[in-house]
Amino acid sequence: MRLTIRRIILASLAFFIVTSCIFTYIFSGSPGLSEMMDVVYQRQDKFSIEGFRENDISVRRELHYSNKQDHIFEDFVQSDQSKIKQNKQSGGIRRRLGSKAETTYDLSEWEQLPIGEQCGAFFNHWRQKNPDWKYSKDLNYDKSITDKGFFFRLQRDRVREQKKSAKRPNPDVITVEDNIAIEEEYKRIVDMTMATQRNMVETTSLIRLFGKCFLEKNNKDAELYEDLAKRFFPYINGQLPSFENAVTGESVVDGYPGATKPYEFGKDHLFEYMQDNSNGKGILISASNRHARDLIKLIRLLRGLNNKLPIQIVHKGDITAKNRDYLKMAASHEVEDFLDESLATEYKSIYPEINLQDVKEIKKTFGSEFPKQDLWFVNIKETIDNSYKYEFPGYANKLLALFFCSFRDVLLFDADTIPLIEPEEFFRMKEYTSKGAYFFRDRSLRDFNDYVETNYFTNLMPTRAQNSMEQLFKIPVVTAHTLNNTYMAGWRHLQESGVVAIDKSKHFLGILMTLPISVWREPVRSSIWGDKELYWIAFSAAGDENYIFNENEAASVGELQVSRNLVSYNNSMTREVCSTHPGHVSADGQLLWVNSGFNYCKKNGHFRDRNKFPYTNMNNNDLRSLFDNPLHITHAIVPPPLPNLRSVGNEIDNTKETEFKKFWKVRPKDVDEINEYVTDADQIVNQIDGWNPQKGWVKTSICSGYMYCAFDVVDNYSPFHEVFGPNSGFLDYEKALSKFSPGQDKGKFFEFPKEKVNYYKFLSKVWVTGSTKFKLIETQEEKEERERTERERNEKIKKLSDQKMVRLKSKLKQVAGQEDPDAKESAEKEQVAENDVVQVQNVERPQRKDHRPEPGNPLEKKS
């Protein structure tokens, strides 16, 4: 090309126009122009949908656990380039471990070292290099970084709002500058989130090594142990909780009850003491005042189940003396008092054919002897450092209880858990005896989680087999046992933690690992509901996959709906059980426990729900009786399991997942989806006769949204696997629907035998008749107080009578001369003693408002 004058002029002109455009744009802020520029800019660059998508993929990739760096390893093991060359012939890669001043080993030498020395070599090196390392609690993580489009939408809305309130012209126009500013903010958030993830990954990795070295007692350096424990678990202040026997009042403040050795604060190492002195099997419940009513009922139920395990109720000083008294009474009353029908109206109204007071008959029919319970209160208030008082979420009380309790075999219950077998049986089940950690599955609801969540949790786990600290310390890398579980496969709910059975001696580190994770706010708290998923997550993060889930997912437990005008799918093969109670059926079909108490609905009475289907098709008395009686257990349905939404390894590309979800939209709808946005009552669809349910659980609005209906036959979840294939791009909906075979996915249906149904009725009656009314029995303090008053009174009377006797004697002497004084003395004393009894009976006994005083049974006189 030749440089002609014309071309130069044209080029200069073009340059001038472009420059002046930019100039005008920058200095005039002309909306028209900037808007125009914006469009041009956006179409071809990173602010477009396409640009966002590309960005998301690259952020997802960067966050992916397979790209996780092991910084601790890199710092500890420095490849020595020259040595690599030298050793290539001999096939070994020589590595220098530690800083120059330290001994160096090659990998095979390292492997020959006793683990204790490996621990010392590593942690001394690490401590020297990181003298100021502290556990970080205030970390920020923003899950939206993998959805840049969403991030921009939010931020642009914010910018518009700001402009509006600042009364700027054209507030709705997002300028290039705005986009650039948002981009800056986005980058800042990405960097922050990546740093947070690195920090959390490093912390969990260090704690794993700490567990390997010190909890497994491989290294005996007490100073190192203590120092590391303080850095990694700064919230644990080294105190044990105080234990108080609810019945005898016995209090244990210097160690674990039943331990052979007391705990010396400041001398013994807390973790070591806990590991060596946890003992026995027991039931553990974390509770506060608001759980008192449920606890009274639960303790009754445990008596009905012949429970012989001790119970520890863990609190933070937030159970009043009054409530403790109730619980003590529930645990220790004589069976006749405990089952006195005057204490609750439910005795007469509920299952009148079951007479709880006929103790003999009850024992014969149900085998229940209502043993007294060995109940303890455990106060953990002083065990947590003050600076962390508000750092644990409420649900972490359960985790702290698990960590601090004195049992070795722990059966952790929620206050509203309903065990339906003798609790000790949980420990005899093969799941427990084989693994020492037995968990239960939640309802297989079709709620999904997000890549960023499952990937985050995977990052906390040991995932690198090579070039990692895991490799150096032979910590097993997490397997498909975790990575292919329901949560990791893309579903929101895996664990239901109303019952958790753990052998602390086998899983100490796993339990300990729940604590640092529960202190972190994001992304932990928004990714899981309460403590639910934390058990398996923490165990796997600890490198401990030795836990097992009950085979069956949660069942809907209640009564089979037989009437066609009461079922939601009235032309389907499916069976239907609607219930507010998820329950858990063992592999061999035994119903083990249900959740949410024993009431039909724990939230409200029948009145609030009377205008909702299917109650509209029931008569009022039947409806009322349904709500007023306890849950009637005759059947259970475990719906078919969900297919994997995400494959093992947490795919970075989410196309398949997105297509899967889109497929739901072209399928027929379930009643909950049809009615989701319907506000007009007449428009609500109650029954469907054209197809089967599309998912195993359908939510209803009954019982404040707690009721779900479960189905054992579902139109297959994923015909599309064949159509979609592992490699094909997008789903062919036509083809998918043509392959759709109605009712293909089958769940499990259970019908319980008559004796069991009766037994559940009996248990439900025992539970619902629990109340805060008790026959008065003295507490230890009351007894002592009474005895003290009695003693004082006796002394006073004796003194008086002695004085009187002296006077009498002298009078007698005066009046009658030398008659028998001893006979008179004893007569006098007897009279005094009788007065004494009468007076003690009249002593005002402490009475509580809700207590019904014990009828006319005089207190025993102390001899």
Q: How far is the CB of 669 from ligand NAG (least distance, A)?
A: 16
The values of phi and psi at residue 282, to 5°, are: -170, 170
| Minimal distance, residue 578 CB to ligand NAG, in Å | 16
In whole angstroms, what is the distance from residue 125 CA to residue 115 CA? Answer: 15
Q: Tokens 């200069």 identify what position?
A: 12
Task: Fill in the amino acid letter for 594.
Answer: V
The piece of 91-99, 495-503, 681-689, 743-751 that touches ligand NAG (CB under 6 A) is: 681-689
Q: How far is the CB of 532 from ligand NAG (least distance, A)?
A: 20
799 contacts: CB under 8 Å, gap ≥ 6? none
What is the Rg, in whole angstroms, of the alpha carbon atoms belonging to the chain? 36
Q: How many CB atoms within 10 Å of residue 814?
A: 8
Q: Least Å distance between CB 750 and ligand NAG?
A: 22
Torsion of CA 125, 129, 131, 133, to 10 degrees: -100
718 scored as a contact of ligand NAG (CB under 6 A): no
Q: Are 306 and 221 in contact (CB under 8 A)?
A: no
Our CB check for ligand NAG shows the closer of 118 and 644 to be 644
Angle between helices 451-460 and 176-210 (to 10 degrees): 30
CB nearer to ligand NAG: pick between 240 and 566? 566
Q: Which stretch binds ligand NAG (CB under 6 A): 3-11, 686-694, 770-778, 803-811?
A: 686-694
User: Considering CB under 6 A, how many residues would be counted as binding ligand NAG?
Assistant: 10
- Interface residue with ligand NAG, options 11, 18, 22, 480 (CB under 6 A): 480
Quick check: 375 and 311 in contact, CB under 8 A? yes
Q: Which is nearer to ligand NAG, 246 or 483 (by Cβ)?
A: 483
Residue 564 found at the interface with ligand NAG (CB under 6 A) = yes
d(CA 760, CA 420): 7
535/513 Cα distance (integer angstroms) = 9
| 281-286 and 311-315 beta bridge pairing | parallel
Residue 534 dihedral angles phi and psi, to the nearest 5°: -70, -25
The nearest distance, CB 481 to ligand NAG, in angstroms, is: 8
Min dist. Cβ of residue 480 to ligand NAG (A) = 4
We find the least distance from the C-beta atom of residue 440 to ligand NAG, in angstroms, to be 18
Residue 477 engages ligand NAG in binding (rule: CB under 6 A): no
Residues paired with 749 in a beta bridge: 637
Rule CB under 6 A: say whether 552 interacts with ligand NAG.
no
Nearer to ligand NAG, 645 or 710 (CB): 645
**Measured distance CA(793)–CA(786) in Å, rounded:** 10
Token readout for 224 is: 């190192």
Residue 555: φ, ψ to 5°: -105, 160
Name the minimum Å distance from CB 453 to ligand NAG. 18
Identity of the residue, 488 or 652, whose beta carbon is nearer to ligand NAG in the bound complex = 488
Q: Taking CB under 6 A as the rule, which mask of x and - marks residues 604-643 in contact with ligand NAG?
A: ----------------------------------------
d(CA 720, CA 117): 55
Cβ atoms of 494 and 486 within 8 Å: the answer is yes
Residue whose CB is less far from ligand NAG, 365 or 687: 687
- Using the minimum distance from each CB to ligand NAG, give the nearer residue, 179 or 485: 485
Q: Which tokens hold the place of 128?
A: 């020297």
Q: Which stretch binds ligand NAG (CB under 6 A): 282-290, 685-693, 804-812, 831-839?
A: 685-693
The CA angle 540-544-548, to the nearest 5 degrees, is 85
Q: What is the DSSP letter of 576?
A: E
In the complex, least distance from residue 88 CB atom to ligand NAG, rounded to whole angstroms: 36
Closest CA to 635 of 558, 689, 562: 558
Nearer to ligand NAG, 648 or 859 (CB): 648
Q: C-alpha 397: how far from its chain's center?
A: 10
Site for ligand NAG in 295-314 (CB under 6 A): none
The nearest distance, CB 493 to ligand NAG, in angstroms, is: 16
The Cα 675–Cα 233 span in angstroms is: 49
The Cα–Cα gap between 803 and 35 comes to: 111
Nearer to ligand NAG, 195 or 480 (CB): 480
Query: Is residue 34 a contact residue for ligand NAG (CB under 6 A)?
Result: no
52: which residues sit within 8 A by CB, 6+ positions away? 46, 148, 149, 152
Give the whole-angstrom CA distance, residue 405 versus residue 505.
12
Separation of alpha carbons 287 and 485, rounded Å:
30
314/566 with CB nearer ligand NAG: 566
Cα(563)–Cα(271) distance, rounded to whole angstroms? 58
Whole-angstrom distance, CA of residue 612 vs CA of residue 600: 16
Stretch of 7-15, 564-572, 592-600, 718-726 lying at the interface with ligand NAG (CB under 6 A): 564-572
Task: Examine residue 484 and tell whether it contacts ligand NAG (CB under 6 A).
Answer: yes
Among the listed residues 28, 571, 604, 728, the single contact to ligand NAG using CB under 6 A: 571
Residue among 74, 336, 689, 784 that touches ligand NAG (CB under 6 A)? 689
For ligand NAG, the binding residue among 204, 449, 455, 644 (CB under 6 A) is 644
Min CB(690)–ligand NAG separation in Å: 9
CB contact set of 360 (below 8 Å; sequence gap of 6+): none
**Least separation, in Å, of the C-beta of 648 and ligand NAG?**
5
Shortest spacing between CB 645 and ligand NAG, in angstroms: 11
Q: Should residue 158 be labelled a site residue for ligand NAG when binding is judged by CB under 6 A? A: no
For residue 96, which phi and psi values (nearest 5 degrees)? -105, 125
Closest approach, Cβ 647 to ligand NAG, in A, equals 8
In this complex, which beta carbon is closest to ligand NAG, that of residue 218 or of residue 546? 546
Spatial separation of the C-alpha atoms in residues 491 and 485, rounded to whole Å: 9
Q: Is the CB of residue 99 less than 8 Å from the CB of residue 128?
A: yes
Choice between 312 and 650, CB closer to ligand NAG: 650
CA distance 464 to 204: 14
Nearer to ligand NAG, 124 or 484 (CB): 484
Structure-block tokens of residue 519: 């202190």
Cβ 566 to ligand NAG, closest distance in Å? 10
If the CB atoms of residues 362 and 671 are measured against ligand NAG, the closer one turns out to be 671
Segment lying near ligand NAG (by CB under 6 A), choices 76-84, 553-561, 663-671, 682-690: 682-690
- Residue 745 forms beta bridges with which residues? 714
Q: Is 648 in the site for ligand NAG (CB under 6 A)?
A: yes
- Distance of closest approach, residue 714 Cβ to ligand NAG, in angstroms: 16
Which of 299/618 has CB closer to ligand NAG?
618
Q: Which is nearer to ligand NAG, 150 or 691 (CB)?
A: 691
Site for ligand NAG contains 561 (CB under 6 A)? no
Which secondary structure element, helix H or strand E, spans residue 228, and what is its range?
helix 222-232
With binding defined as CB under 6 A, does residue 687 bind ligand NAG?
yes
Interface with ligand NAG by CB under 6 A: which range of 496-504, 505-513, 683-691, 757-765? 683-691
Cβ(565)–Cβ(617) below 8 Å: yes
Q: How far is the CB of 644 from ligand NAG (least distance, A)?
A: 5
Q: Of 356 and 688, which has the nearer Cβ to ligand NAG?
A: 688
Report the first-to-last Cα separation within the chain, whole angstroms.
126
Is 683 among the residues that bind ligand NAG (CB under 6 A)?
A: no
Q: Which residues bind ligand NAG (CB under 6 A)?
A: 480, 484, 564, 570-571, 644, 648, 686-687, 689
